[in-house]
Amino acid sequence: MDYSVFCKDFTQEELLFNAPMSEYTSFKAGGAADLMVTPESKEKVKKALLICKSEGLPYFIMGKGSNLLVRDSGFRGIIIYLSKNLEKIELLNDYTIKAEAGITLAKLAGFAMEHSLAGLEFASGIPGSLGGALYMNAGAYDSEMKDVVLSAGLIDDKGNELTMQNGEMQLEYRNSIFQKANYIILDATFRLSKGDKEQIKEKMLELNSRRKDKQPLDLPSGGSTFKRPPGHFASKLIDDAGLKGYSIGGAKVSEKHAGFIVNYNNATANDIIALMEYVKKAVYERFGVMLTPEIEIIGDS
């Protein structure tokens, strides 16, 4: 594939050929992408999309890569990486903030706290970007993005810009319209509530402390590996199947939290995928419950 078409409209700083995706994903594993484009503006995001469309180039929109695994064979196409430059955030009024899709949830929650706005405390410890969080309706501690997002600025697959309201996003447990239709999330607006800055900070510290106590944050992972099955908890099913500590290659089911597969010893993407499949099979054979990955896997098989 000819990627030289990008050289005319993008600077050298915005283009990384043969991008090592293990350096850009939280699993710290996987192969290289042919080209990573890091647009410096929303207009450049649109330009990158239109080039991919007109040239028939495969592409993938990426945030912080916290729920993403690239196969060892790599990705033959374009990664449009939003979390390097699209991080602007602003206070629109006493209750509303607007931020670009590349900003981390930690920065988003911190900005809300500094302006004494409550509602995003749950997000402060989630290791992802705003765009990725909205894409999967990320949540923790009984709160989700759908509880606070007001609207989102998007580009459709023809390059048209539009605004979508909360009620149109089909936000459900780890699901949204963005997983079913070709939209690029550029920014989002949040409606929050006035609170006490110190109390908001205290709640964030408490939630992050609970996360640190229960989750294997000292090892690379993709966060929760599987979605919560109806009527069950994935981590309990995996634990009850006796799989804590089970490993394939350098990938292991965390001994601290069975819901996490961790890269404990230079795991390959193949190690991680093989372990995911083993866990799915073992849990199904034992309990008749089929686990669904929360991790998105891309690249050539």
Q: Which residues are catalytic?
A: 174, 224, 294
Query: Cα–Cα distance between 212 and 222 in angstroms, integer?
Result: 15
Q: Are strands 117-118 and 161-165 parallel, antiparallel or unpaired?
A: unpaired
